[in-house]
Amino acid sequence: MVNTKLKMKQKPLIIPIFIPQEGCRHRCVYCDQSTISGVSQPSWSPNKIREHVQGYLGCQHRHPVQLAFYGGSFTILPESRQRLLLESVQEFLQQGQIHSLRLSTRPDGIEDNNLRFLQTMGVETIELGAQSLNDRVLRASARGHSSKDTDEATRRLKKHGFEVGLQLMPGLPGDSRETFLRTVEKSIVLEPNFVRIYPTVVLSSTPLEHLFRSGRYKPLSLEQAVDWCKASKKRFDKASIPVIRMGLQPTTTLEKPGRIVAGPYHPAFGQLVNSSIWYEKISPALRKASLKSPRLEIHGPAKQLAEIRGHRNSNINGWLKELKLTSLETVASDQIEAGEFRVLAHRV
């Protein structure tokens, strides 16, 4: 018998199936799903889906396993298309090889009848492309829905027992640090199970590129994006809402020369944000310890040492210079919980 409580605590293996722009009924100013996902043609047939799933299952040993339909507005697809996609994986659900399904959709694409159908097919998690909870920003981005739609969709999904994720995009046209952080606060009130944050980048052949080149849109700098996301992640952390991703997933298509025209893209964006939070968190303890010795150690969880050190050791180098230290090492400790640390000063 599967230990459900143990299973839910484990990080799932996600089997992704990208259906770029399927079901989408609006062309948002920033959107080029084929570039974002790295998939150019949504040519999924039942046989291809089964082959895709078997390929993942054949080379992994982690549980639970969740299959995710990304990139489109799944609930707006014709029911026949939804049924075809979902029925293709029912055998894996019935055999216990896949434990649940996940999909993404628009906030204005949620209807009770469809939700009941999705539940019978094993869907447990639905991500909403909210992007912003500011109506002026949504209109400027040609989203075609309102913040009220996100509010109502989230509440409806939770009422039906779904796990709900919100996807947010700081830096959209008309956005500011203040308006985005208000979006964060409104998102916290909705109590999603998790959040993804994707700072807006300008992709080629999108309406946003035209706005950018005509001077009517200015993207965030990388430093601004890190600052906004750091402030928002700290708020979500305080509310115990996990931020499961920050920044676009690097793909060969996305990183092809000329695809990204402007904006705060970085292949390790999440690490930049988390490292900035660590720098702010650890600095006071290091300053105090540096008064005793120029040789210091930071002890922390093994899985978080890379973030503590910073991208390409940026935090370590910053502390060495700022505090005039002669050495600063990081040490893995299984006695320290995630998010915690300890500073040790060596005798001179």
Per-residue model confidence as pLDDT tens digits over 248-292 = 988 888 889 999 999 999 999 999 999 999 999 999 999 999 999
Average pLDDT, the chain: 91
Distance CA 119, CA 36 (A): 28
> Is 120:99 a contact under the CB 8 Å cutoff?
no
Q: Are residues 286 and 253 part of one domain? A: no
Distance CA 252, CA 232 (A): 29
Residue 148's contacts (CB-CB under 8 Å, 6 or more residues apart) are none
The single residue listed with the structure tokens 């039906």 is 160
Q: Are residues 161 and 299 part of one domain? A: no
- In-domain check, residue 222: yes
Single residue among 267, 292, 310 that ends a domain in this structure: 267
**Mean pLDDT calculated for residue range 200-219:** 96
- In-domain check, residue 276: no
Can you give the residue range of the structural domain that contains 84? 11-267
- In-domain check, residue 321: yes
Q: Are residues 40 and 62 part of one domain? A: yes
Q: Are residues 240 and 160 part of one domain? A: yes
Beta partners for 344?
297
SS (H, E, C) 201-241: CEECCCHHHHHHHCCCCCCCCHHHHHHHHHHHHHHHHHCCC
> Is 220:263 a contact under the CB 8 Å cutoff?
yes
- In-domain check, residue 290: yes
Q: Are residues 285 and 260 part of one domain? A: no
Radius of gyration in angstroms for the set of CA atoms belonging to the chain, rounded to a whole number: 22
The single residue listed with the structure tokens 């931020």 is 243
Distance CA 75, CA 25 (A): 12
Q: Are residues 35 and 170 part of one domain? A: yes
Q: Are residues 119 and 60 part of one domain? A: yes
Q: Per residue in 179-195, pLDDT tens?
A: 999 999 999 999 999 99
* pLDDT above 50 (res 99): yes
Q: Are residues 340 and 193 part of one domain? A: no
Supply the DSSP string of 240-301, one letter for each residue. Answer: T--EEEESPPP-TTTTSTTSEEES---TTHHHHHHHHHHHHHHHHHHHHHHTT-SEEEEEE-
Q: Per residue in 60-79, pLDDT tens?
A: 666 789 999 998 899 999 99
Q: Which CATH number is 32's domain given?
A: 3.20.20.70
Q: Are residues 311 and 262 part of one domain? A: no
Single residue among 267, 300, 318 that ends a domain in this structure: 267
Q: Are residues 172 and 122 part of one domain? A: yes
- In-domain check, residue 272: no
Q: Are residues 131 and 103 part of one domain? A: yes
> Is 69:19 a contact under the CB 8 Å cutoff?
yes
Distance CA 35, CA 244 (A): 21
pTM for the full model? Answer: 0.90
Beta partners for 332?
300
First to last CA, the chain: 57
Our measurement of the distance from residue 35's CA atom to the centroid of its chain's CA atoms, rounded to an integer in Å, reads: 17
- In-domain check, residue 193: yes
Single residue among 217, 232, 267 that ends a domain in this structure: 267
Q: Are residues 127 and 77 part of one domain? A: yes
* pLDDT above 70 (res 33): no
pLDDT value for 89: 95
- In-domain check, residue 315: yes
Q: How many CB atoms lie within 10 A of CB 60?
A: 11
Q: Which CATH number is 333's domain given?
A: 3.40.1260.20
**Mean pLDDT calculated for residue range 70-98:** 93
Helix (H, G, I), strand (E, B) or coil at 91: helix
